[in-house]
Chains A and B, each alone.
Chain A
Amino acid sequence: MGKKVLIVDDDTDIITFASSVIENSGYTPISALNGEEAMNKIREEKPDAIILDVLMPKESGIKMYRKVKTDPELSDIPVIILSGIAQRTFTRSQKALTEFEGQDIPEPDAYLEKPVEPEELEKTLKKFLS
């Protein structure tokens, strides 16, 4: 199989849906239900792209996103945020954390708001992977 895409979401229906889109686009889906599990999977599997939810139990997407983007080994992996949270809210939280931690974080490579059309998700994936 081709490139690997990690989908991180606590909603298994979203995982099923995104996995299906990933497969239909010709990639291999990997999934994780929370940020902690996702970090392990990232280190083990080295995915080519990450689809990331924001509001999750244990570790939120906001924190996980920072971890990925501040890790020199991982920061090149494109991250597509897929969330019911508006981009503005996400950006604001990141800014607050940036001020708190003093470390600047780039904006996500793509931001999709739920509900997302399968075609749009596919298009976004292809933009980063082909």
Chain B
Amino acid sequence: MSKLKLLLIDDEEGIRKVLSLSLKRDGYQVLTAEDGGKGIELFRKNLPIIVLTDIKMPGMDGIEVLKRVKEIDPDTQVIVITGHGDMESAIKSLQLGASDFITKPVGDQVLAVALNRAKERLETKRLLREYTNNLENMVKDATEEVKRRYEFESKLIQQSIDGIIATDKEGNVLIFNAAAERIFGYTEDEVKTRKKVHHLFPEGIGQKTTGILSGESRSADDIFVLEDTSVEGKNGEVIPIRFSGAILYETDKPIGSVGFFQDLREIKRLQKELIQSERLAAVGQTVAGLAHGIKNILNGLKGGVYIVNTAMKKSPDSFAGAGVKEGGNGSKLRTGWDMVERNINRVSGLVLDLLSYSKEREPEYEKYDPNIIVDEVCNLMESKAKENDVKLIRDLDKEIGEVYLEPKGIHSCLLNLVSNAIDACIFDPDTEKDWQVKVRTHSDRKGGVIYDVVDNGCGMDQEVKDRIFTEFFSTKGNRGTGLGLLVSQKIIHEHKGILDVESELGRGTRFSIRLAKQEFPEKK
């Protein structure tokens, strides 16, 4: 332990010497000053914890020293030394905060007692200070803990995925969290000022809750769970939710209510989608199972058409003869037959689209020049384009080289896109335009192939664009099967490629097939 610092101020050198000797012997570190001024100077520098000062001194007296010391550090223990019988000074100094006084001549024992008392007082003060500090820290900790918990709980409520609504006894809304805002469409402020519990809780529960809240006793039926119910949103829409709620009590008196709302909209939507996709999968499986039989039937139909057509060509007279004689029946026969043939082709197209759409498969990759496919497709579509005044343009990148793809699949995609593009020109009401369909090939930076089919036909609005890749959607009336783009997209996806579309109503459409480079073609 370091020595306690003590400052001794006395104008008499003899007393200073004697006292400091005895104090040093008692274990103090003693500083001495011969007058008040020097004493205060020393005090400031060293801040001793005990000051022993004579009262009667020339210049600054002991009372003044006491005042100054207490100003600088009120905790310092000041013991004054008074002349014999000078009670007035003694009392005055006690009033000013001196911890003790001793009278001259100063006896060792009296000094020791006074010093011990001073030390005790110092210790008590220290303990008190420590205790006060602890208390303050404890209060601070507790306050922080409460704050932390409050914040945690309010975050819990605010960030909950479920909507949470709490009300007071009158049914006024106290808590309306972010999820509740999302479910109902109201803001917290709107609800707090305008809505009550029976507006927000599901039908029946709201009224029941209001009933219980208006009473003064615990209700037997005060927890509500509805697995599948609904509430009304801001715009009157019905929102499917799972609800659980409870009455809150304070010693058996209802003081409020709370409700938890789980939004079921997304789940309901997914369920619907799942049902739809299951239905489609079932259709797909059924169709795939029937494929072989269907194809034979289609071939039978086409075969029949072919045989009738051959016969008609060989002897038109015998076929239509009867009709011609009896006034027009022959031409009706022809019209009817054309109808049969056209519709056989239509049903055949639709069924074949459906078959290839419902079949799970991997492309049969071959090393192939992508430009050849464009040439084949354009040759096939040339006459349709010409008949409808559409210019069919090829813009081929000759440097592209051979890549791995399924020629048959890409052929049918491209045929579908080019045929659609020509249709877009045919459907275009703006007859001033010079219609054109451009088929372009180029490679991307990574060695993949891009096919662009660009037309300046009627284009599509957003609604049509959103629906072109959904089942059985067609803008072509009974000319379309509603499966063409789906089948194309499926083939491109099987190639792990992308089928993109950009379109502007009245300006035209661009479809892009992007095929990534196939490094390791599937082995056949």
Residue ranges of A at the interface with B (Cβ–Cβ < 8 Å): 11, 13-14, 16-18, 20-21, 24, 55, 84-85, 88, 91, 113-118
Contacts and interface: CB of A to CB of B under 8 A. Distances in A.
Given A88-B361, A113-B295, 11 more contacts: A11-B299, A13-B303, A14-B296, A17-B303, A84-B292, A84-B299, A85-B292, A115-B299, A115-B301, A115-B302, A115-B348
A17 B304 contact: yes
B306 interface: yes
A88 B356 CA distance: 14
Top-7 shortest CB links A-B: A17-B303, A84-B295, A115-B298, A115-B299, A13-B300, A84-B292, A114-B299
A114 B306 contact: no
A20 to B, nearest CB: 5
A88 B299 CA distance: 20
B84 interface: no
Contacts of A84: 291-296, 299
A113 B364 CA distance: 15
Contacts of A88: 361, 364
Chain B interface SS verdict (over half) = helix
A115 B302 CA distance: 7
Nearest to A9: B296
Contact of B303 (A20, A55, A91): A20
Contact of A114 (B295, B310, B361, B364): B295
Chain A interface SS verdict (over half) = helix
Contacts of B306: 17, 20-21, 118
Contacts of A55: 292
Nearest to A92: B524
Interface residues of B, number: 21
Contact of A16 (B293, B307, B348, B524): B307
Contact of B298 (A18, A24, A114): A114
Contacts of B364: 88
A117 B304 contact: no
A13 B299 CA distance: 9
Contacts of A20: 303, 306-307, 310
Contacts of A21: 306
A119 B296 CA distance: 17
A11 B302 CA distance: 14
B307 A114 contact: no
A72 to B, nearest CB: 28
B288 to A, nearest CB: 11
